[in-house]
Amino acid sequence: MDIDFSSAAALKAYSSLPKMTGRDAREMAQSPAEAKEVLEEKGLWLDFIKEYQGNLDLFAEYHRKGCQVIGFYDELYPENLRSISSPPNLLYLEGNAALLNNKSIAVVGTRQPTAFGETFAKVISESLIEAGLVTVSGLALGVDGICHRVSVENGGQTIAILGSGVDCLTPTSHKLLAKRILEKGLIFSEYQLGTSTTSYQLVARDRLQSGLAQALVVCQSPISSGTMHTVRFAAEQGKPIYCPVPHSKNSQSEGIRILLEVPASQLKDRLPAFQKSSPRLQLGDEPLAKPITRDNLSQVINSL
């Protein structure tokens, strides 16, 4: 059997073996002769071959269902995700895979935006599409849905990143929106078909939203919103973060107010999501986010 040791099928086969991390799988894919020797010594070579062949059959079935699978070493794999601290070895895609390496901006926020959050989400999404950029979000209720909907309604391209298999869309109320996204855009996940959403997977998904995009725009967020995990990942990845300036005090905007006004070094004490930040994350005395307003909107977009 001819084996492509750096393929998606091989990476998944490596990862299925005992005590094998995603990083281990990538390293073995880069040194096939050494990998074979190690697996033979451990009595795992035949297990690898079996898994590899099974993955080829599984991915062929996925392809028939309209789902493309790409691995870390495939040409289509996005360069921006290769550089994050924990890149997924596999991506499961539906739609226009070429968008993975296009310039994109993540637009995120609360599932329960006020009129302020809704208005800004519409304005920024429309402006990004007009500038020829791809929008990225998570297909959740609230700001995510607004971003995707405005993008497709304005003839743009948008990417939805899921915390489930691409065939297990949630919320179900967004199934029609998902179909519209796929007309010109892309939906993808690091989870194989049939995988249901969990809270852990949604947080893990957030690192891909910030990781894929050139910058992050937070439209509105309370202190304890899951959106703040995306902000934390963006900070760890060194991505610029922008927020609109709240017009008034409101619990749904308290998170972005903190990002705009409080020294970044204090965020671990103010935002629960930042208590899980990497020890390597160095936060200074300036606020983490920069303001984005109607007056500087064009200037900010042109700088991205």
pLDDT confidence band for 261 (50 / 70 / 90):
very high
Between CA 73 and CA 68 the distance in angstroms is 15
Q: Which residues pair with 104 in a beta bridge?
A: 134
pLDDT at 10: 96
**In the predicted structure, residue 124 carries a pLDDT above the cut 90:** yes
> Where would I find the beta strands (DSSP E) of 16-164?
68-71, 90-95, 104-108, 134-137, 158-161
pLDDT at 25: 94
Between CA 213 and CA 89 the distance in angstroms is 18
- CA 79-75-105 angle, 5° bins: 35
Q: What is the pTM of this model?
A: 0.96
Q: Map out the domains of the chain with their CATH numbers.
A: 8-97 (no CATH), 98-303 (3.40.50.450)
Per-residue pLDDT tens digits for 148-198: 999 999 999 999 999 999 999 999 999 999 999 999 999 999 999 999 999
Q: How many CA atoms lie within 13 A of 226 on its CB side?
A: 21
Sign of CA dihedral 92, 98, 106, 120: negative
Q: What is the amino acid identity at position 25? A: A
Per-residue pLDDT tens digits for 265-294: 999 999 999 998 888 888 899 999 999 987
